[in-house]
Amino acid sequence: MKQGGTKLKGKRAPNKTAAPAESLTANPANSGEYERAESAAQFIFSSTPLRPKIALVLGSGLGPFADEFKQASKIPYARIPHFPQSTAIGHAGQLVVGKVGDIAVAGMQGRVHLYEGYSAKEVSFPIRVFARMGVKAVILTNAAGGIKFVQGRLVVIRDHINLQGVNPLTGFNDERFGPRFPDMSSAYDKRFREMAVGQGNRLGIGIDEGVYAALTGPGYETPAEIRYLRTIGADLVGMSTVPEVIAARHSDMRVLGISCVTNAAAGILDQPLNHREVLETAARVKGDFIALLKALLPKIEESIAPTAKN
């Protein structure tokens, strides 16, 4: 076509067959999470002759239980390939593999949280490692604010409400970990919960059950938020645990969750909240907490044995 005697050059059409730019989802099957978990698991196995089937995640101020493990190998998270590192106060940041009595266990002295800047997948990565280690049961503990329960109470988690806005299973699903749509209707193992309540009562501790609401933090909740949480059925509130539970159930690991109520939730008492109070309360209930775990571990080991009927 000519205009004013001059031929106009048309714009070159884009090449629709050009290779797409590389993206996070371009080749999701090679995301490498499974391989990273396997690498971390093999490193841990190279550091200890023990092969635990039970793992514990010990939350704020609750890590001293792992100091009582016998034949212990202590591995800083910084040494484990691909392992996230704790930055929160009260989280020592090391994995302890040892024995409680005759039972081999792996205990995390501290966890990582979304509020530290980690993604949900990074927060739950240690659970992926436990899955590759052959762990069959995880005990997840945390420090929580009490909506229904008073300070110093130990509470078995019956269910949770995920208000963190993220899920560690978002994105490509690696079937080697578990199914695309895992069932969460019994996320917290009923038999384990019954054991915990029963052993707590036997020890004279007095254990309740409740629903845990997970928020991102790091700021404590407002009184209005606590009123909302009470309305929707929450008894406890915290900033952890739920991503780990989701990842554990995705890999068909049985879960027990235990909260230590370290402070009254905002607005329950006419006083400000601070992390020092959390750590002080955890230290006060340490004896009851350790006694409960020691009583529970043989029961859980028996329950996960290949010949056990649940």
Is 262 strand, coil or helix? strand
Task: Look up 60 and say whether it is catalytic.
Answer: yes
Of the residues 55, 86, 108, 116, only one is catalytic, namely 116
* Beta strand ranges found along the chain (DSSP E): 2-3, 6-7, 54-58, 70-76, 94-100, 103-109, 137-146, 154-162, 208-214, 236-238, 254-264
Asked if residues 72 and 114 have their Cβ atoms less than 8 Å apart, the reply is no
Asked if residues 230 and 111 have their Cβ atoms less than 8 Å apart, the reply is no
Of the residues 108, 239, 248, 264, only one is catalytic, namely 239
DSSP state of 144: E
Task: Look up 91 and say whether it is catalytic.
Answer: yes
CB atoms near residue 169 (< 10 Å): 22
Tokens 């004279």 belong to residue: 204
Tell me the sheet residues that pair with 138.
55, 255
Is 196 strand, coil or helix? helix
Task: Look up 239 and say whether it is catalytic.
Answer: yes
Of the residues 55, 92, 143, 214, only one is catalytic, namely 143
Of the residues 124, 240, 259, 303, only one is catalytic, namely 240
Is 173 strand, coil or helix? coil
CB atoms near residue 225 (< 10 Å): 17
Is 219 strand, coil or helix? coil
Of the residues 167, 225, 275, 277, only one is catalytic, namely 275
Of the residues 91, 92, 188, 282, only one is catalytic, namely 91
Q: Which two tokens stand for residue 194?
A: 């019954």
Task: Look up 143 and say whether it is catalytic.
Answer: yes
Of the residues 113, 196, 265, 301, only one is catalytic, namely 113
Asked if residues 60 and 102 have their Cβ atoms less than 8 Å apart, the reply is no
Task: Look up 116 and say whether it is catalytic.
Answer: yes
Residue type, 186: S
Which residues are annotated as catalytic? 60, 91, 113, 115-116, 143, 239-240, 263, 275
